[in-house]
């Protein structure tokens, strides 16, 4: 069993050099230490995490399957299957909540991601729906910590890098909302190396600065302000020189 206190935040990963910022010309949002303190990435077995909820990469039946779905059902025991039978399935892009039963997590949120080659045109919107609905469920149920599996990146074939971009963007947007203020930690849980690499690249930067270290943002801002001030002084001095010459 892995307690939340054992999982480092993004802020800690930056501070220890395990996550490196990457410079870029464009930002979609300003870096925020408050957000970085509420986000983690963890490689390991999601069924061992002692959180308020874990998010299962489920199929439409909600009755279990392969990969992480099957692992969660096995670890939770038969009562999870029995409760899922009462839910009448779930549409792609949506999510439903159950008890966690024998899992260390109190609840399981079952999110049905898109099959990439079947839903390619709608895949980004459907995957976004999984993350938004799961965050909404957390907010509605007063859950303070949640671990997301890498939805759709297994047999459903969603490219890990693209999926990580959707996950990071949506989670950041949701954490900034008033209704999600009580969510203290979101953990991106990876297992396969392709997902580990995808989050390692996406968390600091993939077009957007989702979770850039706040200190580097302050340094950049300070450098920019100092440069502006220096240029202003040069301009002022040049004006004085011209006035003296005249």
Enclosing domain of residue 233:
214-246
Same domain for 54 and 173, yes or no, is yes
Are residues 62 and 141 located together in one domain of the fold? yes
Task: Identify the CA nearest to 35 among candidates 211, 228, 243.
Answer: 211
40-91 pLDDT, tens digit per residue, is 999 999 999 999 999 999 999 999 999 999 999 999 999 999 999 999 999 9
More reliable by pLDDT, 241 or 72: 72
Task: Specify whether 227 is located in the same domain as 195.
Answer: no
Contact 122, 163 (CB under 8 A): no
Tell which residue, 46, 31, 41, 85, has the closest CA to residue 195: 41
The residue that leads in pLDDT, 156 or 208, is 156
One domain for residues 48 and 138: yes
Whether residue 129 sits in one domain with residue 66:
yes
CB count within 10 Å of CB 16 equals 9
Number of domains in the chain: 2
In a shared domain, residues 76 and 145: yes
Residue 215, pLDDT > 70, answer no
20 and 76 belong to one structural domain: yes
Distances (CA, A) of 225 to 36, 95, 192, 221, 231: 24, 46, 43, 6, 10
Helices (H), 16-77: 33-36, 67-76
Contact 165, 209 (CB under 8 A): no
Give 112-171 pLDDT, tens digit per residue.
999 999 977 899 999 999 999 999 999 999 999 999 999 999 999 999 999 999 999 999
Q: Are residues 160 and 231 in the same domain?
A: no
103 vs 228, which has greater pLDDT? 103
- pLDDT exceeds 90 at position 205: no
> Which of 221, 242, 217 lies closest to 11, judged by CA?
217
pLDDT at 6 over 60: yes
Same domain assignment for residues 51 and 171: yes
Please give the sequence-ordered ranges of beta strands (E in DSSP) within the chain, or none if there are none: 2-3, 39-43, 49-50, 53-58, 95-99, 107-112, 145-148, 185-190
Looking at the structure, do residues 11 and 121 belong to the same domain, yes or no? yes
Position 211 scores a pLDDT of: 60
Give mean pLDDT, residues 10-30: 71
Q: What CATH number is attached to the domain comprising 203?
A: 3.40.220.10
Residues 61 and 95 in one domain: yes
CA dist 85 and 89 (Å) reads 8
Residue 30 predicted with pLDDT over 90: no
3-state secondary structure of 63: coil
Has residue 35 got a pLDDT over 50?
yes
Q: Is the domain of 155 the same as that of 238?
A: no
* The pairing of beta strand 2-3 with beta strand 39-43: unpaired
Residue 173 to residue 29: CA distance in whole angstroms: 10
Question: What confidence tier does 20 reach under pLDDT thresholds 50, 70, 90?
Answer: confident
What are 244's two structure tokens? 């003296």
- Please report which residue ranges of 47-156 form alpha helices under DSSP H: 67-76, 78-85, 123-140
d(CA 1, CA 147): 14
* Report field, pTM of the whole predicted structure over 0.85: no
Give the pLDDT confidence of 89-107 residue by residue, as tens digits: 999 999 999 999 999 999 9
């Amino acid at each position: 069993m892995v307690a939340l206190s054992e999982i480092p935040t993004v802020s800690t990963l930056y501070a220890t050099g395990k996550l490196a910022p990457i410079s870029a010309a464009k930002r979609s949002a300003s870096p925020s230490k408050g957000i970085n303190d509420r986000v983690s990435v963890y490689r390991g077995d999601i069924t061992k995490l002692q959180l308020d909820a874990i998010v299962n990469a489920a199929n439409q039946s909600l009755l279990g399957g392969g990969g992480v779905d099957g692992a969660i059902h096995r670890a939770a025991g038969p009562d999870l299957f029995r409760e899922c039978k009462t839910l009448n399935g779930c549409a792609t892009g949506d999510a439903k909540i159950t008890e966690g039963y024998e899992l260390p997590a109190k609840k399981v949120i079952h999110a049905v991601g898109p099959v990439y080659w079947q839903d390619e045109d709608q895949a980004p919107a459907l995957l976004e729906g999984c993350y938004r609905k799961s965050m909404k469920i957390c907010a509605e149920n007063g859950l303070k910590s949640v671990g997301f599996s890498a939805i759709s990146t297994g047999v459903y074939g969603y490219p890990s890098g693209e999926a990580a971009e959707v996950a990071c963007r949506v989670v950041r947007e949701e954490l900034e909302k008033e209704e999600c203020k009580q969510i203290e930690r979101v953990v991106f849980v990876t297992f396969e190396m392709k997902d580990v690499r995808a989050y390692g690249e996406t968390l600091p930067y993939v077009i957007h600065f989702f979770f850039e270290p706040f200190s580097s943002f302050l340094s950049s801002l300070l450098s920019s302000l100092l440069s502006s001030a220096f240029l202003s002084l040069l301009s002022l001095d040049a004006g004085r020189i011209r006035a003296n010459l005249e």
